[in-house]
Amino acid sequence: MMIYRQPLTLLVSALAFAGAAVRGVVIDTEGLPDTGLNTSTWTEGTLPPLSDIWTLNDIQIAAKNVLEPRYYASYRTAALDEITYQANLNIWKQVRLNGFSFRDVSDLKLSTTILGHNFSLPFFIAPAAKAGHASKSAELSLVTAAGKAGILYVPSISSTKSIEQIAAAGLDNQTMFHQEYVWCALTPPPPILVFQKRLTSERYRSNKTQLKDELKRMEKAGFKAVFLTVDNTGVNGIRDRSLRYTGTESDTGHSATFDLESLAALRNLTSLPLVPKGVKTAADAKKCLDLGFPAVYISNHGGRVLDGAPTAVEILLDIRKNYPEVFERMEVYADGGVRRGTDVMILLALGARAVGLGRSPMFANIWGEEGVTHMIDLLKTELSTSMQLMGASDVTALNSSYVNTKWVEQQYFGSS
Ligand X SMILES: Cc1cc2nc3c(=O)[nH]c(=O)nc-3n(C[C@H](O)[C@H](O)[C@H](O)COP(=O)(O)O)c2cc1C
Q: Which residues are part of the catalytic machinery?
A: 301
- The DSSP secondary structure of 380-412, one letter per residue, reads HHHHHHHHHHHT--BGGG--GGGEE-HHHHHHH
Residue 335 marked in a binding site: yes
Residue 132: HSE in the Cβ half-sphere, 13 Å Cα cutoff = 8
Residue 301 as a binder of ligand X (CB under 6 A): the answer is yes
Sign of CA dihedral 145, 150, 153, 159: positive
Q: Which of 29, 43, 86, 158 binds ligand X (CB under 6 A)?
A: 158
Region of 14-22, 33-41, 333-341, 382-390 interacting with ligand X (CB under 6 A): 333-341
Residue 156 marked in a binding site: yes
Q: Which of 79, 95, 128, 192 binds ligand X (CB under 6 A)?
A: 128
Region of 135-143, 217-225, 350-358, 376-384 interacting with ligand X (CB under 6 A): 350-358
95 phi, psi to nearest 5 deg: -110, 135
Which residue's CB is nearer to ligand X, number 335 or number 369?
Answer: 335
Closest contact distance (angstroms) between CB of 338 and ligand X is 5
Region of 126-134, 190-198, 212-220, 323-331 interacting with ligand X (CB under 6 A): 126-134
Paired strand residues for 183: 254
Which residue's CB is nearer to ligand X, number 147 or number 356?
Answer: 356
Which strand (E) or helix (H) includes residue 228? Answer: strand 226-229
Which residue's CB is nearer to ligand X, number 379 or number 387?
Answer: 379
Residue 13: HSE in the Cβ half-sphere, 13 Å Cα cutoff = 6
Which strand (E) or helix (H) includes residue 290? Answer: helix 282-290
- Within 351-410, the residues that bind ligand X by CB under 6 A are 356-359, 362
Residues in contact with ligand X, shown as a per-residue x/- string from 235 to 274 under the rule CB under 6 A: ----------------x-----------------------
Which of 71, 59, 75 is closest to 27 using CA atoms? 59
Looking at residue 182, what DSSP letter applies? -
Q: Which of 147, 170, 237, 302 binds ligand X (CB under 6 A)?
A: 302
Position 33, amino acid:
P
Q: Are 31 and 57 in contact (CB under 8 A)?
A: no
Which residue's CB is nearer to ligand X, number 336 or number 371?
Answer: 336
Which residue's CB is nearer to ligand X, number 42 or number 225?
Answer: 225
Output the residue with the shortest Cβ distance to ligand X. Answer: 358
- Within 31-50, the residues that bind ligand X by CB under 6 A are none
Residue 277 marked in a binding site: yes
**Binding residues with ligand X: total (CB under 6 A):** 25
**What Rg, from alpha-carbon coordinates, does the chain have?**
22
- Reduced to 3 states (helix: H, G, I; strand: E, B; else coil), residue 138 is coil
**Whole-number Å distance between alpha carbons of 346 and 334:** 11
Region of 142-150, 183-191, 296-304, 364-372 interacting with ligand X (CB under 6 A): 296-304
Residue 334 as a binder of ligand X (CB under 6 A): the answer is no
Closest contact distance (angstroms) between CB of 73 and ligand X is 10
Residue 170 marked in a binding site: no
Measured between its terminal Cα atoms, the distance across the chain in Å is: 79
Residue 338 marked in a binding site: yes
Q: Which of 84, 112, 229, 365 binds ligand X (CB under 6 A)?
A: 229
Cis peptide leading into residue 155 (ω within 30°): no
DSSP strands (E only) in 230-335: 248-249, 274-279, 295-298, 331-335
41 phi, psi to nearest 5 deg: -95, 0
Which residues touch 228 (CB under 8 Å, ≥6 apart)? 179, 180, 181, 182, 263, 266, 274, 275, 276, 277
Which residue's CB is nearer to ligand X, number 82 or number 318?
Answer: 82
> What residue ranges bind ligand X (CB under 6 A)?
75, 88, 126-129, 156, 158, 179, 229, 251, 277, 299, 301-302, 304, 335-338, 356-359, 362
